[in-house]
């Protein structure tokens, strides 16, 4: 028998040894994980991991969530990777800032501290794809420092949503850095497979984003028959990573920053990665951003889903922007607008006349049609003066004419004049009673250009002016902070039908999956001179559009815009029963669902406003049959006002088959779309038998 007294010291030693081993395990575990942190989405399907890799490792490992050896815990190159449903989506990709005068930041760093948090809240949007947004995400804040002098500090902030991950750089105040002077941002996006991409290829940083989205393989950009090449790609960039996910690269909250573009690495024919480029300052092309410390970048957003339609439904880009800076939003009203420019400012007699009297003709049309607005386009003011009444149209007189009819007036203004005169012009416009301004030909999104968008939004809100940016960059969620921002062009829109065939049905069904991922877009639909491909001819006055009339009607549901143009000449709508759909459709929504679709092929969407639902379906040049379950409807029966392609719409695109039937959520609709066809439906509770336009 053992002496219990002899066992006591042994037990004490065992306890001490065990405690020491546990402590050692904790230290080892801390070393193992200190240089790697993973953030998962609330549903656990999407994850982003940050870690450092040895500088000697020239190309990061493809292995997901690779543990760091304790020997390497001193740090190294900062990278991130993204997985979706357990599959690697983004390989380890570099994160690096190029600061003037102090070398790259991110190539030799170690993780110092990691902080996590969670948010689950709701906020309201005044206009857009939904009125109430759930902002649900997990967050991670990483503090890093260089392992060698000068020991600069860097912070990475990340959020993981169920449908996206986002991250941004933050350079804090610190000794040795007097200001934030950024030469470039080298953020990599290394795809785990060669993806099929839909690329907006742009000529330079001063474009207006008005081009096609071209379907390619990412590897096709890097080696053109053995010749090294690089192209500049605008955001958002949609891609399909086969067997893994649909992915779109975008950005949000650009305050005090410059817009991001992407380039492909040149020369490597097996390469399928992208690198960031920032729009350079005009006054110093070697610099992208200048500012005080602390200074953060824009959010780099990766929208992720198992279907492309899930990306359209996402509200992440607005969620990554600050809450509304406008307290009283009662004056901000979405609506549709009559417009003189697209038809050629034609009079009721068909002659072109840019006069006050002719603008009254468009006001009359808006009033008779129940449209909220009328837009007076370029030419009303003197070329270099937007503060007076010395143009061809007397804007105050037109406003006085329109007001009793319940129509509000928007006016066109140019970027240069606005940049110089907004402090004088905007108070004057408020005094006149102008509802909104269409600011055109901005043609820049460098740091100063981005600041222009914010200055216009804030100054316009101060004077109760709505804003529509044309000749512009893409949206990045500014409309949450300034809900008076109603639209951006940044799109190859229907105006191109005046010049050629670039605006066509294939392009129409590409836009929802590409450009519209960034947010609202002023495409300017409503063309009623509908023709086939063979019949089409480009002309500046009384333009034609390719595709059926039902195809154009569906755009009012599919395309997100709180300031929706009714673009054609008033006479084009006279006596046309299909115009009733445009009279009835709202310009802002409470809920959005993508029912089916494929980029460049077809789209079917359902949007709700109040207790009414609207369906919009569009196809490319291929005829298509769509089977539509109505399980998104509420309880009870609905009257479905259906506007479909007529049986001969493949030859007579202006022909629309219109019917009303009773349906419920257990039923289905079948849409037979003609080539370049469409399908538009208003679904209203059967108890509501009123029609003939929205209040």
For residue range 178-229, list pLDDT tens digits in order: 899 999 999 999 999 999 999 999 999 999 999 999 999 998 887 776 777 7
Integer Cα distance of 518 and 250 in angstroms: 7
For residue range 272-290, list pLDDT tens digits in order: 899 999 999 999 999 999 9
Taking residues 10-37, report their average pLDDT: 42
| Structural contact between residues 338 and 376, judged by C-beta atoms closer than 8 angstroms | no
Residue 398 CB contacts under 8 Å (≥ 6 apart), including other chains: 356, 359, 360, 363, 376, 409
For residue range 491-515, list pLDDT tens digits in order: 999 999 999 999 999 999 999 999 9
For residue range 455-467, list pLDDT tens digits in order: 999 999 999 999 9
In the chain, what are the domains?
A: 35-319 (2.70.98.10)
Query: Does residue 480 have a pLDDT over 80?
Result: yes
Q: CA separation (Å) from 524 to 16, 139, 225, 339, 582?
A: 76, 39, 40, 9, 13
For residue range 368-424, list pLDDT tens digits in order: 999 999 999 998 987 778 877 567 899 999 999 999 999 999 999 999 999 999 999
* Tokens at 17, concatenated: 């040894």
Parallel, antiparallel, or unpaired: how do β-strands 668-673 and 624-629 relate?
antiparallel
For residue range 47-57, list pLDDT tens digits in order: 999 999 986 55
Taking residues 653-676, report their average pLDDT: 98
Integer Cα distance of 400 and 521 in angstroms: 30
Integer Cα distance of 32 and 34 in angstroms: 6
pLDDT of residue 30: 35
Integer Cα distance of 16 and 31 in angstroms: 22
Cβ count within 10 A of residue 378 = 17
Query: Does residue 521 have a pLDDT over 50?
Result: yes
Q: How many residues does the chain have?
A: 695
Lowest mean pLDDT among 264-278, 400-414, 426-440, 652-666: 264-278
Q: Which residue carries 């990573």 as its tokens?
A: 241
pLDDT of residue 66: 38
Higher pLDDT, 161 or 383: 161
For residue range 524-539, list pLDDT tens digits in order: 999 999 999 999 999 9
Which three-class secondary structure state does DSSP give residue 616?
strand
Taking residues 112-125, report their average pLDDT: 98
> Mean pLDDT of all residues in the chain?
91
Half-sphere exposure (Cβ direction) of 52: Cα atoms closer than 13 Å: 31
pLDDT of residue 55: 66
């Amino acid at each position: 028998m053992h002496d219990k007294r002899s066992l006591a010291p042994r037990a004490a030693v065992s306890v001490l040894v065990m405690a020491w081993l546990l402590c050692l395990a904790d230290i080892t575990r801390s070393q193992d994980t200190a240089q790697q942190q993973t953030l998962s989405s609330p549903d656990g399907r999407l994850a982003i991991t940050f870690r450092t890799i040895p500088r000697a490792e020239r190309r990061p490992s493809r292995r997901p969530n690779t543990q760091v050896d304790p020997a390497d815990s001193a740090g190294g190159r900062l990278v991130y990777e993204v997985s979706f449903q357990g599959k690697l989506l983004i390989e380890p990709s570099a994160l690096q800032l190029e600061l003037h005068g102090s070398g790259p930041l991110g190539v030799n760093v170690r993780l110092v501290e990691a902080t996590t948090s969670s948010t689950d809240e709701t906020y309201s949007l005044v206009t857009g794809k939904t009125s109430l947004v759930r902002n649900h995400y997990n967050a991670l804040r990483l503090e890093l420092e260089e392992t060698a002098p000068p020991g600069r500090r860097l912070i990475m902030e990340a959020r993981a949503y169920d449908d996206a991950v986002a991250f941004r750089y933050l350079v804090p105040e610190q000794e040795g850095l007097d200001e934030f002077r950024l030469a470039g941002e080298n953020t990599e996006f290394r795809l785990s497979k060669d993806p099929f991409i839909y690329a907006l290829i742009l000529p330079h940083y001063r474009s207006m984003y008005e081009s096609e989205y071209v379907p390619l393989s990412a590897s096709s950009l890097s080696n053109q028959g053995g010749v090294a090449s690089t192209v500049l790609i605008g955001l958002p960039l949609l891609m399909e990573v086969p067997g893994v996910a649909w992915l779109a690269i975008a950005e949000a909250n650009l305050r005090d920053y410059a817009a991001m573009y992407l380039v492909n690495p040149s020369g490597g024919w097996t390469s399928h990665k992208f690198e960031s480029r920032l729009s350079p300052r005009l006054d110093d092309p070697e610099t992208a951003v200048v500012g005080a410390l602390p200074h953060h970048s824009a959010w780099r957003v990766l929208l992720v889903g198992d279907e492309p339609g899930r990306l359209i439904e996402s509200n992440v880009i607005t969620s990554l922007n600050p809450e509304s800076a406008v307290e009283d939003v009662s004056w901000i009203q979405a609506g549709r607008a009559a417009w003189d420019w697209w038809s050629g400012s034609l009079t009721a007699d068909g002659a072109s006349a840019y006069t006050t009297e002719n603008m009254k003709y468009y006001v009359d049309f808006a009033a008779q049609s129940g449209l909220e607005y009328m837009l007076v386009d370029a030419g009303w003011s003197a070329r270099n003066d937007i503060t007076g009444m010395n143009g061809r149209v007397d804007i105050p007189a037109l406003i006085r004419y329109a007001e009793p009819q319940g129509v509000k007036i928007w006016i066109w203004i140019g970027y240069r004049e606005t940049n110089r005169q907004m402090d004088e012009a905007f108070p004057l416009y408020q005094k006149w009673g102008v509802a909104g301004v269409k600011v055109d030909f901005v043609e820049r999104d460098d740091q100063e250009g981005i600041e222009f968008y914010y200055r216009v939004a804030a100054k316009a809100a101060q004077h109760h002016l709505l804003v529509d940016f044309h000749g512009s960059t893409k949206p990045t969620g500014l409309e949450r902070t300034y809900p008076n921002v109603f639209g951006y062009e940044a799109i190859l829109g229907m105006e191109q039908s005046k010049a050629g065939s670039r605006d066509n049905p294939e392009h129409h069904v590409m836009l929802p999956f590409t450009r519209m991922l960034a947010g609202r877009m002023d495409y300017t639909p409503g063309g009623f001179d509908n023709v086939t491909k063979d019949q089409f001819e480009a002309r500046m006055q009384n333009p034609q559009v390719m595709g059926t009339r039902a195809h154009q009607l569906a755009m009012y549901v599919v395309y997100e815009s709180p300031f929706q143009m009714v673009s054609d000449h008033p006479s084009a709508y006279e006596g046309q029963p299909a115009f009733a759909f445009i009279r009835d459709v709202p310009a802002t929504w409470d809920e959005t669902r993508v029912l089916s679709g494929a980029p460049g092929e077809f789209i079917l969407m359902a949007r709700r406003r109040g207790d009414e639902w609207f369906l919009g379906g569009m196809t490319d040049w291929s005829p298509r049959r769509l089977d539509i379950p109505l399980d998104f409807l509420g309880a009870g029966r609905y009257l479905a006002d259906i506007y479909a392609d007529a049986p001969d719409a493949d030859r007579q695109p202006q022909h629309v088959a219109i019917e009303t039937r009773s349906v419920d959520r257990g039923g289905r609709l079948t849409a037979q779309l003609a080539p370049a066809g469409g399908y538009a439906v208003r679904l209203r509770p059967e108890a509501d038998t009123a029609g003939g336009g929205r209040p």
